[in-house]
Amino acid sequence: MLHGRRKTAGTLIVALCVAVTFLLTAGLADAKGGKKPKPPPDPGDPGDSGVVYFKNAQTLYEMDQDGSNKTALPGVKLEWGWEYGPPSRELHGNERWFLQFKAVEGEEYPNGQARWYPYAISESGTAVQLSDDPNLEPATKPGGGSPVWQGRPRWATEDGTKDGKVSFLARKWVEDSDTGQWSVAEYGIFVASLDPSDLLTAEGSLDLQWARVPVDFSARYASQDTEETNPIVDVQYDWSPGGSAIAYVDLVGDDPGIWLAEEASTSWTKTRLTTSGEYPRWSNDGDRIAFESSSGIHTMDSDGTDETVIVTDPADSRNIRKYVQGARWSPNDTHLIYLYGEWDNKRFYARRSDIYRINADGSSKTLLTGDTDRLVGIVDWCSD
């Protein structure tokens, strides 16, 4: 019996060797014949960690990085301001805090526009006013109205704290004590330090001390016109992760493009990074900057080198304008999300917008919001 088992085992080994030889021979034959071996099955794109915040039908939502577990956050009200402000990079009191403007009924700036104050708002709806300076006017939409998308307050880093300060674009009104006339004394980015733990104990407001960042913008940005028909023009900007540099856009100066302003003692040095582009966005490690242009979504090194198009602007179809915008980095900078939208040029309304996730090199596009209503908008992608 033992001999028979050995004989049977030997037969099986021989058969296996023959089979392997046949497969290898077939593979070589296919290669000689120009046939490529089949690639292994795609394991799928796991994406990155963190939570994505987006708006849909006037409501703020959060979802996992793969598009699952969409949850409404009704505590943060869209009607407070022109747009949802950015969320804090970290959780404070087990909640993310969003920055927005809120109009105060019955109060006006010297130019007759409604007065707006910056607020921090938790996911559950707790609101803390961040300024009691009545003469800091946020950047406004051309033609007047509420603060624009880029003019809203935003979080910045200070001394290693991810949410260590807050800034917004504004102009400072001052009154002449002799004539009683109002004029604009300063214009630009105003910043104040904030200990996020103070939000948890604040009784409705925090008296932050605001100071202008010494970065000068083009002349049209610094307009001191008090007429509502010609308000200040907005500046698109984003803080570096370390809080010591700002990437901003000049659309109207003699040298348009994306610029880098870096802190150096008490002054800020400026370097031009690109000759075109809008809406710069720093990666979390500070090495890359994403931005938009007429050709699509780009990324580049923080010194302006190694510029790459990662999402090409889609070709329009008959009466339909197609666009991509709003790139945001994942917490580990391995992926980005962006917004794809369609605009009906004949009927003058947005038809559809959705959020897609891609690898940082632009590969492996994944739709995240195909199960939502017609229009969505990106807020940010934060760590868990």
pLDDT of residue 298: 98
- Separation of alpha carbons 379 and 269, rounded Å: 30
Backbone angles phi, psi at 371, to 5 degrees: -100, 10
What is the pLDDT, as a whole number, of residue 266?
74
pTM for this predicted structure: 0.83
Q: Are 211 and 193 in contact (CB under 8 A)?
A: no
d(CA 310, CA 299): 7
Element (H, E) at 267: strand 267-272
Residue type for position 46: P
Q: How far apart are the first and last CA of the chain?
A: 64
Token code pair at residue 365: 């596009």
Q: Which residue has the tokens 């004989």?
A: 7
Along the chain (384 residues), what's the average pLDDT of each consecutive run of 10 residues? 40 40 40 44 61 89 94 83 80 93 86 87 93 85 52 82 91 92 88 94 93 82 50 79 92 87 86 95 96 96 97 93 95 96 83 94 94 88 91
What pLDDT does 380 receive?
Answer: 94
- Joined tokens for residue 51: 């939570």
Confidence at residue 150, expressed as pLDDT on a 0 to 100 scale: 52
Q: Given this model, what pLDDT does residue 74 score?
A: 86
CB 249 within 8 A of CB 236: yes
Give pLDDT, residue 277: 95
95: closest CA among 165, 168, 163? Answer: 163
Distance separating alpha carbons of residues 324 and 338, to the nearest angstrom: 7
Q: What is the pLDDT of residue 211?
A: 93
Q: What share of the chain is helix, strand, coil (3-state, %, to 5)?
A: 10, 45, 45
Which amino acid type is present at position 33?
G
